[in-house]
Amino acid sequence: MRDRIAAASAGRSGPLPRLIAVSKTKPVDMIEAALAAGQNDFGENRVQEASVKFPLLKRRYPQMKLHLIGPLQTNKLRQAMALFDYIHTLDREKLARAIATEQAAGQAVPALLIQVNTGEEPQKSGVWPGQADAFITLCRNDLNLPIRGLMCIPPAAEEPSPHFALLAKIAARHGLAQLSMGMSGDYEIAAAFGATMLRVGSAIFGERQIDPVTI
Ligand SMILES: *Cc1c(COP(=O)(O)O)cnc(C)c1O
């Protein structure tokens, strides 16, 4: 997979995209095998599940980084801030203000990415493209949050490249470096469109029995 990522990234400048192994629903022994093989970034979409699986692994493998890629409820915020190194799913003002309140109280804030609902799908999380500029400005300038980039999940039935291109364009006009886009079915396309973080689950760990793909 790393060879395919490198090939798909040919012609880009800068480092290769970072591979985030999405381990939701997968047991700790599979995660530990990946850690032993040198994989250091892991993604989970539920705070509850991650807080069962990862605290011990984080002590045993202090170099590992944990990424929250699913929706975050404000009542789980403190738990999430203590466990995750990155939150990819900052998607609304209420959550942004709650993180800012924790930050003002002296809590360390994970690196944040804003989720953009590029397909404007009503059932999916994320700010719509037309609101993205204002939301990014609110988060950075008014709330002083550590916004590192943007994340998207294109509509399942569509060609993903226009969505990846749109996300890259919004990030570029705000000087945001991180682009979290691309999953098992489209990570090579995402890499070609400038992804810096690929969220790949089933292509690494195998198909999931239950499939809580984030909406
Ligand atoms: C589950 C999930 C992934 C990984 O999906 P695969 O198709 O298994 O690679 C990526 N991103 C998000 C937000 C997810 O919920």
pLDDT band at 13, cuts 50/70/90?
confident
Angle at CA of residue 133, ends 174 and 161, nearest 5°: 75
Phi (first) and psi of residue 56, to 5 degrees: -65, -45
pLDDT surpassing 70 at residue 170: yes
Tell whether the torsion through CA atoms of 213, 131, 84 and 22 is positive or negative. Answer: positive
Residue nearest (by alpha carbon) to ligand 1 atom 10: 199
pLDDT digit string, tens, across residues 30-52: 999 999 999 999 999 999 999 99
Cα(141) to ligand 1 centroid in Å equals 31
pLDDT surpassing 90 at residue 66: yes
Ligand 1 probe mutation, 69, 86, 88, 198, most atoms within 8 A of CB = 69
Q: Report the pLDDT averaged over residues 173-177.
A: 98
Measured CA to CA in angstroms, residue 213 lies from 42, 46, 50, 125, 176 at distances of 15, 11, 15, 12, 26
pLDDT digit string, tens, across residues 124-144: 999 999 999 999 999 999 999
pLDDT surpassing 70 at residue 212: no
Give pLDDT, residue 1.
86
pLDDT digit string, tens, across residues 72-123: 999 999 999 999 999 999 999 999 999 999 999 999 999 999 999 999 999 9
Give pLDDT, residue 30.
95
